[in-house]
Each structure stands twice: as structure tokens, then as C-alpha cells.
Amino acid sequence: MAADRPRATTRIFLEGLRFRGRHGALAEERKLGGPFRADIALDVVSPPRRRDRLSDTLDYRAAFARTRAFMEGRPFRTLEALADAIAGALVRLPKVRWVRVRVTKLAPPLMPGATAAAEIERSREGALRLRRARA
């Protein structure tokens, strides 16, 4: 009957994650790279009672590792595609039901001090529907 017990949701934040990446529409951006920041919010299903057990929640090191792999990995031309790829990877983590990913380019080729960002939200249910539609 454990499946009948209500579950709680916890929102976990990973904010201010800074990376050097080679993302951008311009060839020079992809060649030289630049500073980026990722801010992540994840809704995690957890037991109704809070216990101090890592097995009851998300080990956020896994979310960080997946985010880092994209931020420091192959170049993306758009921030939207980069954020979407990260969100797709994070929503597949165990216990994650929803994710919001904001990727910020800290030095875009606009003007000194300007930033550019894209934010994507994904739910596990939406990701599952998308995957089934493609099958």
C-alpha cells in the first residue's frame, strides 16, 4: 500500500553555475568561447515525511554533472537549444518531475555589460509524450 501514500514535492535550486562554453551564432564565439551561467530549478518527488537520506531526494551532483557536460561540451548556435538540451537531460533524472533551465551568456557580442539569456521549462510528462510521439 506504499504506492497509496501521498508524495511531497521539493524544489531544488542550483544557481550561479559558471562555465566557459563555445556557444553562439557567430563562428568567432564558437572558436574563442566565453563565460556562461546556468540557473536550474528542479521539482523532485519525495516522501511525505522529510528524512535526512540522500536516497529520498535528488543528489544534485548528478544534475550539475549533466549541466556541465552540455555547457562545456559541443557548441550550440542558440541559447534556446542549449537550455532545451540541458532540460531534456535533467528531466530524465530519477525523481525529477519538472525542471526550469536558464542559460545566460555573460558577454554576448552586443555592448559591454549586457547579457543574453534563454529559459526553458520541461515536465517529465511532457517529455514522455514527446518521446512517444516521435516513436
105 is catalytic: yes
Q: What percent of the chain has pLDDT over 70?
A: 89
Domain boundaries, the chain: 2-134
Looking at domain 2-134, its CATH architecture is 2-Layer Sandwich (3.30)
- Write down the pTM of the prediction: 0.86
Alpha-carbon distances, residue 19 vs 4, 25, 123, 130 (angstroms): 42, 18, 25, 29
pLDDT classification of 46: cutoffs 50, 70, 90: confident
Alpha carbons within 13 angstroms on the beta-carbon side of residue 112 total 0
Whole-number pLDDT of residue 133: 47
The active-site residue out of 100, 102, 105, 122 is 105
| Contact partners, residue 20, CB within 8 Å, separation at least 6 | 33, 34, 35, 36, 72
Min mean pLDDT across 45-49, 91-95, 121-125 is at 45-49
- 78 pLDDT exceeds 70? yes
Cβ–Cβ under 8 Å, residues 76 and 33: no
Cβ–Cβ under 8 Å, residues 86 and 26: no
